[in-house]
A and B are shown apart, each in its own frame.
Chain A
Amino acid sequence: MLSVADGPCNYRVMSIDANPRAPAHRAPGPAAADGRVAESTMSGVPLDAVYGTEALGVPGAYPYTRGPYASMYRDKLWTMRMFAGFGLAADTNRRFHDLLDAGVTGLSTAFDMPTLMGRDSDHPWAVGEVGRAGVAVDTLADMDELFAGIDLGGVTTSMTINGPAVSVMAMYVAIADRRGTARSALGGTLQNDILKEFQAQKEYIFPPAPSVRLVTDLMRFARAEMPRWHPVSVSGYHIREAGSTAAQELGFTLANGFAYLEAAIRSGLTADEVAPRMSFFFNAHSDFFEEIGKYRAARRIWARWLRERWGARDERALRLRFHAQTSGVSLTAQQPEVNIARVALQALAAVLGGTQSLHTDAYDEALALPTEHAARIALRTQQVIAHETGVPAVADPLGGSAYVEWMTDELERQAEAIFAHIDELGGGSMLDGAIAGIENGYFVGEIADAAYRFEREVTTGERIIVGVSDFTEGAASQPSLQSIDPKIEAEQRARLDAVRRARSGDDVARALDGVATHARDPVRNVMPAVIDAVHAYATLGEITAALESVFGTYTEAAIA
């Protein structure tokens, strides 16, 4: 089995870098064979790396509208993501080894729903969810098995985890400690974007303010001990999937980025210290030019706000880099093969918009977990764009188009209106504004209204969804679907029981007490105490409960 994902939104699956031998973007010169970009047209016409007048500006220079790097894909093709793995830690570990043997250096871990919610595999709501949309991790024993035989200093690891990010990061650090790998040698990315959970994906645990404090604790910990680590990936993908407009995705996501930055600055860091380690994750949706304008506007806004509002000077702080994924929610269950065309066009928009990394959805994901066949077509789609279309040869090829420049300006204008509202909600603080907007229902209300407006337009025929609202066919064609072995759940619960029996109850109680004590003191970092707790084999659910005893539990109050 090649791939597993969660319905239409398979951003929480494992992925690998499919062109690992492509050189780093800093290295000029010809790309390796599998990352090569032709520098002439298929008819042999030689091409410059970029076109445009001086007034238009160039990629790689402030405000970076045209791209974060001067030569873009000629220096380094975007990273193609291919999903793999699920189930128990051992299953995923085997897959990791296959990938590493094939020369891959970047591992990407997705977790199952109970883990994402900070709960153990024997939680009553975990029924049917264990190991389904990602790997189940309850204790350090699972994390150890997940990365068994892997040199943690020699790979980079991406982990899609938010609410319980401190616990999962602590487990990763703890296995490195045990194996004698220096923390400073650990490289990778944690999604750790809790604000968008309240706004869109709804995988929150604690109330917003203490949740942001945990994000800041991780930023401080990474800054002090893991300089190669990216502690936050600010994600608009889920905001868009929840039904927002492109401008809302752009505005809310960048505002969240500003909020994290402000939180880090309040805790004593500077923008130049924090921003270079922040990355972004955007949706690649169906409206072609609107998406391209969105990515271009994102870079320009980030650079300008960082420089003007927070005085950042380091160009790595000003330069916004992002990962994109095609829109799961745009895939249709009706005539599913048509999704291949949708995904290709969405992916093309992300590339024309200058993405650094891209995941393409499998065409059968609107129905269930994707099959290996469908996942392979998704990867091949990216390869066609990279190697057959000629699009990567020239940086920002649409720059200078009157329409594209107008669209970029328009999305920036709409995003600025959103920032002004959030800033006002927060009385001059984007962080306070983000939290106030969560509590008063601003974000969820705006997103739900946008989703409803779009659905109504489809219903009234103002907009057409091919195969759904028009061009329909009588009987739905059903591709063959992937299913999951129910034995996984029983096995994982047995593993958890065994760990609980073997550990020292006193040690666990003492360590959990330490977690609560650290959590109670807002100036202390919880990470050291959480690392102690995972060493004592406290479970993910127990650590979550210890933090809940201090922070409380969040229930969404806004319904509109």
Chain B
Amino acid sequence: MTPDGLPIRILLAKLGFDGHDRGLKVIARSLRDAGCEVVYLGLRQTTESVVIAAEQEDVAVIGISMHNAGHLTLGPMMVQAVADAGLDIPVIIGGIVPAADVPTLKAAGIFDVLGPGTPLETVVATVHAAAAAHPGSSV
């Protein structure tokens, strides 16, 4: 919930060819059960399709799942696409990201990186923190 009692809206998507969506679906259910409204965009999205959906759906947070080692390219591209659209929406990356790459991603503007084995409570807490840290993205 946001401070005014409304559900947090979060968009979940994967970029490109990669079809590993087990984690994304587990996270979707987990956030639903934590009271969030999950706009599920699923597989084979582009940074542009994510941005358009984020605008129309007015989500507070964008979650991108990565399993194809493209995070160092696609992560910063996603952040840039959000900024180019003039949006203030935090981007969280989940999936297989080596710990060594996390500082690079954070420096590029990724709000947080949730690696393999992250407890579901931590995922939910991170989404709440991201929504709270960007009040411009909620009413």
Contacts and interface: CB of A to CB of B under 8 A. Distances in A.
Are A and B part of the same complex?
yes
Interface of A: 6-9, 113-114, 116-117, 119, 125-129, 132, 201-203, 241-243, 329, 332-334, 366-369, 444, 447-449, 451-452, 455-456, 458-459, 465, 468-469, 476, 478, 481, 555-556, 559
Contact of A334 (B17, B74, B117): B117
B70 interface: yes
Given A203-B19, A329-B22, A465-B117, A368 B70 contact: no
Interface in B47-91: 67-70, 73-74
Nearest to B122: A459
B98 A455 contact: no
B42 interface: yes
Given A451-B22, A556-B42, A366 B96 contact: yes
A452 B29 contact: yes
Interface in B3-61: 16-22, 25-26, 28-30, 40, 42-44
Contacts of A202: 19-21, 43
Contacts of A129: 16-17, 68, 70
Nearest to B70: A128
Contacts of B99: 476, 478
A202 B28 CA distance: 18
A455 B96 contact: no
Contact of B68 (A7, A366, A481): A7
Contacts of A116: 17
Contact of B30 (A127, A455, A469, A481): A455
A452 B28 CA distance: 9
Given A368-B69, A452-B25, A459-B121, A113 B42 contact: no
A203 B121 CA distance: 31
Q: How large is the interface on B (under 10, 10 to 19, 20 to 34, 35 or more residues)?
A: 20 to 34
A468 B43 CA distance: 27
B1 interface: no
Nearest to A475: B99
Interchain residue pairs A-B with the least CB separation, the first 4? A202-B19, A448-B25, A468-B117, A452-B29
B22 A241 contact: yes
Contacts of B116: 332-333, 366
B120 A201 contact: no
A203 to B, nearest CB: 5
A243 B16 contact: no
Interface string B95-137: 0101110000000000000011101110000000000000000
A449 B73 CA distance: 32
Contacts of B28: 559
Contacts of B120: 455-456, 459
A77 B73 CA distance: 44
A7 B26 contact: no
B26 A481 contact: no
Contacts of A119: 17
7 contacts: A116-B17, A117-B17, A333-B115, A448-B25, A455-B30, A456-B120, A478-B99
B42 to A, nearest CB: 6
A244 B28 CA distance: 17
A511 B75 CA distance: 40
A469 B69 contact: no
A478 B100 contact: yes
Contact of B69 (A7, A125, A126, A444): A7
Contact of B119 (A7, A126, A203, A459): A459
Contact of A201 (B19, B29, B42, B44): B19
Contacts of A369: 69
A107 to B, nearest CB: 25
Nearest to B16: A125
A507 B48 CA distance: 37
B22 A6 contact: no
